[in-house]
Structure 1
Amino acid sequence: MDIADVIRDRRTIRQFSERQLTTDTILELLEVAKWAPTHGLREPWRFICAADEKAKEKLSDRIIGALEEFNRYKWLPGKIKEMYKKKLMQIPVILFVVVKEEKGKLKREEDFAASCALIQNLQLYGWEKGIGMIWSIEDTLCGNRTFCDSIGIQKDERIAGMLYMGYYDRVPKAKQRTSAERKMTWL
């Protein structure tokens, strides 16, 4: 498979198979992904990963606790919270890409962009290996200071991406993309 095929064929995967990702596979994916362009070779990222049952259980409790801070989630019945926790537990791996927040705006934006490039590399290499992902930066979690503190995110860091990762059995249909020509302004 050439790179153009990998780019065009990659899909967001929401249904994972029961096949587990090993820590060696996770590290292999990150070893390739780290070759993303990074200004000044700052490599501003680090990773937090929940891959085993105990870690996912702890993370699920923290996610539900963080969501309860919001009025719209506070009064959810226990059954719904348990269903949500069960769904989270079925995700083979939950990986956070954490980026240092520099004080200067330019460095901060460069570092966030570099971390996003790393995430795209991760998705593309994962796809080539039969591993799918969802990339989320949902503010109710990624922007929630209580949640961030609970998983060890420092005050000068932020989440660039929360990735649900795993092998998949079924590939969703491609959705139409707008042509580059329609998006182009020639000077």
Structure 2
Amino acid sequence: VLSLQARECLQALSDPAALRKKKVKSDGTVHWTKEQVLRESSGSGTCGSYFTIGKEPPALQAVIAALRTWLTPTPTPEQCDSLFLRYGVGGVNWAHQDQGEFAWQAVLLLNPPTEYDGGALYVVDVNDVKPLQRREVPFENVGDVVIFAANSMAPSGRHFYHGMTKVTRGQRLAVGLLQKG
């Protein structure tokens, strides 16, 4: 089911500029969310970009509803931020924790893994004593969803960090979903 919805999402997201969130300031001027480019100087990664999706297309709304049903035995707030993620050759997202109180996060793959190399999602327990112990979660098919508890504690007593390995060929497209808890 998710694979079909991912294909529909990819079609709906084929014009990313049309999905940007619209902001109307108090003086009536209209601004659109910018596509944030990852740069080494920002400390978050490089050769990639993301932006907050304004109104999710119906196929993406269906994916969010399914995830919410599967993951949450009790009702959760309806607030789920969606980010369009694009990484080209050299694109990497270094180990980090997102700001905010997110109960869970998910990454929905929008294009076939045969179109790129690298780009595996990973989680890591950042511990000052031991070397980084990274667990990679490669995507296998369009529509694969990787879900992780954003606020769970690692064995070190700290929160897990997550990131993405370097894309070495092609372009990786995905949607990141951030469920507030």
Q: Under TM normalisation by the shorter chain, which class is it? A: 0.3 to 0.5
TM-score, length basis structure 1: 0.31
Q: Which has the higher helix share?
A: 1
Give the TM-score normalised by structure 2: 0.32
Larger radius of gyration: 1
